[in-house]
Chain A
Amino acid sequence: EDKVVQSPLSLVVHEGDTVTLNCSYEVTNFRSLLWYKQEKKAPTFLFMLTSSGIEKKSGRLSSILDKKELSSILNITATQTGDSAIYLCAGSGGGADGLTFGKGTHLIIQP
């Protein structure tokens, strides 16, 4: 059975801190690892990672994939209150043709 595990499940930090969110995966026929941000409604796409060791960056957010360790991290530097959200990790591949999601990390940024 395909599985994606995220840690921590919840995290509270102060504005300005740097956070690292973790994702490990066991997905048959793995193709890519995706990160989404979910605020109040629909998840919105952040990154897609297919190659090990190549960092993807967008502003204060960055992510990297380690295919040997079957894991990925999402870093957020100089956090702001607007970064408060649930961050979802998902793997593509697998038996059914869709994404296998982790349970998410609920990140709260306190002013």
Chain B
Amino acid sequence: NAGVTQTPKFQVLKTGQSMTLQCAQDMNHEYMSWYRQDPGMGLRLIHYSVGAGITDQGEVPNGYNVSRSTTEDFPLRLLSAAPSQTSVYFCASSYFRPSLTNTGELFFGEGSRLTVL
């Protein structure tokens, strides 16, 4: 009964380092996405994928890369970490893309708290 699993839960980086946040879901969801949550800003969409091999940019994609080689996994890569990327990152998935259905409910992972010094 895992749902959406994110690792690591906490990470501290130095400016300029790179790292990958992992996200895996076991619900056979076609749609997966990454959000960042900052105080006073709500959740903002970084990147999303509507199926294996397909990715697209969200509202705040700069400084991040994603790939979707399998249905289950959707890693988020920080190429050269900056203090502005200090945030809590959430991976979320659903059966279908929100824009095409009236079943826009997303299932969220528990979040990854990233601090960039």
List chain A positions with a Cβ less than 8 A from chain B.
4, 29, 31-32, 34, 41-45, 48, 50, 88, 90, 92-94, 96-104
A92 and B99 in contact, given A41-B110, A97-B56, A98-B48 (Cβ under 8 angstroms): yes
Q: Contact check, B109 vs A93: say whether CB atoms are below 8 A apart.
A: no
What separation, in Å, do the CA atoms of A98 and B35 have in the docked complex? 10
Of the residues A32, A41, A88, contact of B43 by C-beta under 8 Å: A88
A96 and B48 in contact, given A31-B104, A32-B104 (Cβ under 8 angstroms): yes
Given contacts A31-B98, A96-B48, A96-B57, 7 further A-B contacts (CB under 8 A): A31-B104, A32-B104, A88-B42, A96-B59, A98-B58, A99-B98, A103-B41
Of the residues A48, A96, A100, A102, contact of B103 by C-beta under 8 Å: A48
Instruction: Determine if B74 is an interface residue (Cβ-Cβ < 8 Å).
Output: no
Interface membership of chain B positions 48-84, coded 1 if the CB is closer than 8 angstroms to chain A and 0 otherwise? 1010000011110000000000000000000000000
A-B contact count (CB 8 A): 77
Q: Contact check, A99 vs B45: say whether CB atoms are below 8 A apart.
A: yes
Q: Contact check, B99 vs A31: say whether CB atoms are below 8 A apart.
A: yes
B side interface size, CB within 8 A = 31
A58 to chain B, nearest CB (A): 14
Of the residues B48, B99, B109, contact of A29 by C-beta under 8 Å: B99
- Chain A hits for B104, CB < 8 A: 31-32, 34, 48, 92, 99
Instruction: Determine if B106 is an interface residue (Cβ-Cβ < 8 Å).
Output: yes
What separation, in Å, do the CA atoms of A93 and B100 have in the docked complex? 8
- Chain B hits for A96, CB < 8 A: 45, 48, 56-59
B105 to chain A, nearest CB (A): 5
Interface membership of chain B positions 101-114, coded 1 if the CB is closer than 8 angstroms to chain A and 0 otherwise? 11111111111000
